[in-house]
Structure 1
Amino acid sequence: MPRSAANAATLTVAGKEDVAEGVVSLTLAHPDRARLPDWTPGSHIDLILPDGTTRQYSLCGDRWDPHTYRIAVLREPAGRGGSAYVHDELRPGDRVGVGGPRNHFPLVPSHTYLFIAGGIGITPLLPMVHQAELLGTDWQLLYGGRTRSSMAFREELTGGHGDRVHLVPQDEQGLLDLTAWLGEPRPDTKVYCCGPAPLLTAVEAACAHWPPYALRTERFTAAPRTAPVRNTPFEVELRRTGRTVTVTPEVSVLEAARRAGADLLSSCEQGTCGTCLTPVLAGRPDHRDSILTDHERAADDCMFPCVSRSRDDRLVLDL
């Protein structure tokens, strides 16, 4: 069993639906129709498939529905097999494991929101749109996709929100015009973006002159990582277990901690899912994840040991 499955709930696939070309949505429910844990816009779950594969998917349904979760899965021919299993093998009535939900992409209060989605990146933004609408907050959605037929939930978005939603199919209109949308900084606006890596890179560049913390992004794949700060061994004290381990360059902190007996859950092991978030009690981590903001990294009070390392000779972790 994957370590992420240790605290997972068993849910039933209550529904499966094609929502775009190459995209299916799954509705998940407790077998006894019990209430599911609450969640907030930006949350994701670990989906643990019957074959043992674990993948992370954003919740994109109605957060006020206490009995079901909805996720959407893009078929990825070059992926590691999880999406193919969902598309080809998973059926209504099947049981799956679900870990979470967790939220590393929260919707913070703002006078105005600009949501930018690329392809399946619409999934974490969809509940944010609904939340902003519920609160009466001003918002706009810029949604790009390869073709109109490949853009999931387009009818759900355009049917209820009119000219706030701007669909930009690439084969009809080209790439998103980020200069037009982000050229002039707006101090009262928060920008939320999710999509493929080139889109995130372009949006980050376009927002470089915006106020600090105006942009929040979520990545489905890890951002490119530079070389670690140090390439020599360091010690990690596991405060709760009372053990100290030496972490060599070829071993992750996660792996070293597990060898020393720490019961630490993980899933992606790429610094994108957030499962292994660990408090730091002393020392300075070398943050190498794709989740924490610059402000959160500067605090040095937590780290993702699957990819992050140490800047100092010694780290003390709450493990």
Structure 2
Amino acid sequence: MQKTILERIERVSEDVVSLVLRGDDGPLAPWEPGAHIDLELPNWLTRQYSLCGDPGDLSAYRIAVRHDPLSRGGSEYVHLFLQPGRTLPVSLPRNHFPLVPAPAYLFVAGGIGITPIIPMLRAAVAAGAAVTLAYAGRPFAAELAAEYGERVRLGRPDLAALAREFPNAEVYCCGPASMVDAAEAAFPAVHTERFEPTRRTFGPDTPFEVACARSGGTIQVPADETLLDALNHAGRPVPSACREGVCGSCEVVVLAGEPEHRDDIGAAAGRMYPCVSRALSPRLVLDV
């Protein structure tokens, strides 16, 4: 974890505030557009937020937090109780939404989904690419329109029309689940990031066995327990945050066996996220 000091809180819309987290021990870890961090709050909750500042400035991170009316304690605490000067541990940045090199980009964002797109937009413009942002939301809208002018289109986007207008652009989308679903249907290929897990149906949970290659021993994972909980209860703690398969903090290495991937990240070969994923084979061998 990295130690930061909350330097300032700025309101950017009716329900969104921006936080500037200054590194307390010197420069913070480097990051690239699309990355996010885990933020440990004083009320013992850990939440994930996309970095929306300047990757070239490692003296501080910038994130934005929307006040969710159905908050489980994270956004509510940030909006109602968090004060500048507070020490806040943050994780090293992780990036499951990287910006690939391309001559042209179309960015589609809704609401707080603009946060990972902001540094992508700036990097693409700086690289000389043809760039268009279609944004339905209020946070940072005026700031982006003033900075990028005609490159920014505000209001609810017509995704089918955009697909016809930009057939060769690299498409990135982040926003509400309904927008992301619509973008995946409208474009032949689209890079997406979700803040909430996709609702999908899997077969019934069944028990399986896990061999711990590094620490030794075997763990039985019952049908009514997650692999993450089974590892933690057996004394093989695995760091975790979202527990929904969207943040990637609990990644483990699979040495043998066939995982059943239930995450929304798209686990790389030989990796899995035990907060949601299980096993298709009777036995997994993990590097834990």
The normalised TM-score by structure 1 is 0.87
Q: 1:130 aligns with which of 99, 117, 122?
A: 122
Q: Tell me whether 66-75 or 95-104 shows the greater mean CA deviation.
A: 95-104
Task: Give the whole-Å Cα distance in 2 for the aligned partners of 1:225 and 1:96.
Answer: 35
Match of 2:258 in 1: 284
2:36 corresponds in structure 1 to 44
Aligned residues: CA RMSD? 1.5
Structure 2 equivalent of residue 274 of structure 1:
248
**Larger CA deviation: 86-95 vs 154-163:** 154-163
Match of 2:97 in 1: 105
Match of 2:275 in 1: 306
Structure 2 counterparts to residues 32-71 of structure 1, below 5 A: 32=25, 34-71=26-63
Name the CA distance, whole Å, in 1 between partners of 2:106 and 2:201: 30
Task: Say if 1:183 and 1:206, in contact at 8 Å, map to a contact too.
Answer: no
Alpha-carbon shift at residue 31 of structure 1 (Å): 2.8
- 2: distance between equivalents of 1:225 and 1:318? 28
1: distance between equivalents of 2:200 and 2:55?
Answer: 34
| Aligned mates of 1:249, 1:52 — CA distance in 2 | 29
Q: Which residue of 2 is the match for residue 318 of structure 1?
A: 287
Is there any run of 5+ residues in structure 1 with no aligned partner, and where?
1-7, 146-150, 169-174
Q: Is the 8 A contact 1:252 1:305 kept in 2?
A: yes
Aligned positions, number: 288
Select which of 162, 187, 195 maps to 1:220: 195
Residues 153-177 of structure 1: CA deviation (Å, up to 9, x unaligned): 1222112211111011xxxxxx421
What code does the residue aligned with 1:290 have?
D
Matches of 1:165 and 1:245 in 2, distance apart?
A: 53
1:232 and 2:206 matched: yes
Matched, 1:197 2:177: yes
Deviations 1:275-298 (Å, cap 9, x if unpaired)?
A: 0011111111111011117xx4xx
CA distance in 1, matches of 2:176, 2:229: 29
Kindly state the Cα deviation for residue 20 of structure 1 after the two structures are TM-superposed: 1.2
User: Which residue of 60, 67, 81 corresponds with 1:75?
Assistant: 67
Match of 1:11 in 2: 4
- Partners of 1:79 and 1:291 in 2: CA distance: 23
State whether residues 243 and 260 of structure 1, in contact with CA within 8 Å, keep that contact through their aligned partners in structure 2. Answer: no
Moved more, 125-134 or 243-252: 243-252
143, 156, 175: which is aligned to 1:156? 143
Q: Sequence identity, in percent?
A: 49
Deviations 1:195-250 (CA, angstroms, capped at 9, x unpaired): 1111111111112xx1xxx311111111113123x532111111111111111111
2-structure distance, mates of 1:232, 1:128: 41
Structure 1 stretches of 4+ with a deviation exceeding 2 A read 183-186
In the TM superposition, residue 58 of structure 1 has moved relative to its aligned partner by: 0.4
Query: For each residue in 1:118-149, what CA deviation from the matched residue of structure 2 results, as whole angstroms up to 9, or x when unmatched?
Result: 0000000000001101111111111012xxxx
Distance 1:157 1:19 in 2: 12
Q: Deviations over 1:6-60 (max 9, x none)?
A: xx2221110110111211000001235x111001000111111111111100000
Distance 2:92 2:180 in 1: 25
> 1:56, 1:66 → 2: CA distance?
19
